[in-house]
Structure 1
Amino acid sequence: MLNDKNIIILGGTGSFGQKFVETVLSRYTPRRLIIFSRDEYKQYKMSQRFNTSAHPCIRYFIGDVRDRDRLYRSFDGIDYVVHAAALKHVPVAEYNPEEAIKTNIFGASNIINAAIDCGVKKVIALSTDKAANPINLYGATKLCSDKLFVAGNNYVGKKDTRMSVVRYGNVVGSSGSVIPFFLKKRAEGRLPITDLRMTRFWITLQQGVDFVLFCLENMVGGELFVPKMPSTSIVDLAKAIAPECALDVIGIRPGEKLHEVIIPTDESHNALEYDNHFIIKPTFNFFERRFCANGCRPVPDGFQYDSQSNSWHLSVEEIREMIANLPPVTA
């Protein structure tokens, strides 16, 4: 699929971007693979691992999705765009709302316009469970971003550009997530727990990359993809990481949910279930012709895909297996 193609990964120096680049280089021979991000130090560090001598297809572009002109220059001749750039930490977005809006919403609009005008074939945008029934600013900005990418298919005219969205839960071991935090706190003998009832969806970084590649290959434009994922309770996660530690209940943080929702009930009438994933169809009726019903079925009335009622829950031992291959946590 990506052989001899020109691909750009926005937010390419993040956890997802680095795993995406590693996976693409191991499976395909792209003509160009552009790593686009605003952090020159992260690009320098990443270039030590993926250097242009060993991988002549790689390019490192400094840029920000807020910068429309830079996106137009970067998208010249590009076939596929993978959008993984975001201001994503909930407390940071709550404290800096205008900055989150500039990156997550205005940045999405810039990507859409640049992709259409530059003749990009496919755009896949990464979303988050927090965009479903959002209660924090980060989730609200990503919901708006999702809507922009879906609606962007209306504006392509006679061009072939297609845009879709991928929405999934917490990535195991990603920067700023609870697993590295618990691993660090383990030495203190006590773990802070927000709420003993809390549950979360989980997906590994490799699973996330594989799913995005699957969606990039199979997308028709306008759909929102959701993988089937296991859930864990926060208490079981703590037991798996540090069974010897006492738990200190500190209360839910601002903008945090007790349970994650990926497909809300209000969106279920547009949801289709496949063996390993769901899609949420766009509400625009003229898109209906794009979606093949083979291998899928509508979800039941009143369906909601959330981490509490999910039938796939990991045991403590399964959680340990899930996190066994994470890199060492550094101070």
Structure 2
Amino acid sequence: MSSGSALIPLDRALARLLDGLGPVAAETAALPDAAGLVAAETLHAPRALPVRPLALRRGIAVASADLVGATPHAPALLPSAPPVVLGGDVLPEGADAVLPADAAATSGPFHEIGQSAYPGEGAVLPGTDLTDGAVIVAAGAPITAEAVLALQLAGIAELTVRRPRIALMGDAAGAEAAWLKARLARAGCAVTDAAPADLVLHLARDPAAVVAGPGLALQPGGDAALLVDGTSRTLVLAPRADALVAALFALVFPVVAVLQGRRLATVARALTRNMASQVGLADLALLRHTPEGWEPLGVGRVTLMAILAADAVAILGPESEGAAAGAPIAAIPLQEPFDPR
């Protein structure tokens, strides 16, 4: 193929997919089922944590103010034995530190401690783990396992998320389709096998037999077809690894970003060597991170070796003949393609 003139330009195809598109309606998800989804609202800590001081180790709970100036030669005398606590225990009222159990000794009716302690020694003081009003997860950000932990400890049992519905239909039984499904699920989408959906991905060995018309000026994946009918959006893709990788980063992820109210991430670095591209086609380029910059692994072609070694993906516009060594290239991180906010 020497020209993309008979094909739909990538920017026009993407514009058709995005026309009139906005974030999907928020839905409620329970914790911890929300892990991996995208938050529809910013959630703040409703209170500071911990509410009471907690022990960080096994020992005796003491009030640091009672031990000011205590030394082995001038121990502090306590009227009662300091209580023994374990890591995670709430400290008794007035206690703000935990000392080793052997720090206390009995001397007649008193209990001696021959060392001082500072507030928070061996303990977590109130409000030092999570401050009141702190952002736990921001709107448009992925809900990590750590965010779920903080939400649960803060007493939040559910939150709202934006979970686009993506239908994967047609020839969707192979390893390539399984990879695509896994990437979509990891991006926080609900992957189904039937319409209606926010986006339909129909896999077919001959996309033109499903949707008549020109393909896309995208390499690889030029045999893809597009059908937009009102609010229905369908991409027909050949179930090949190269075609699915190209479509995912050039078309599907931009749609998912809008549906979730977030943005694709890009990282700009210099090229380590020249990279050639075909005029008239949007070329997918696989790049590897090196100390010197982006190392091109392939342009317009996706191999398993390259995708395993790649760290980022760039889309070279149809007007480009490539880029020279040292030129800055903005690329989408392969494993974390969305802005984490």
User: TM-score surpassing 0.5?
Assistant: no
Larger relative strand fraction: 2
Which TM bucket (shorter chain)? Answer: under 0.3
Larger relative helix fraction: 1
Of the two structures, which has the highest relative contact order with CA contacts closer than 8 Å and spacing of 6 or more?
A: 2
TM-score (ref. length: structure 1): 0.25
Q: Which has the larger radius of gyration?
A: 2
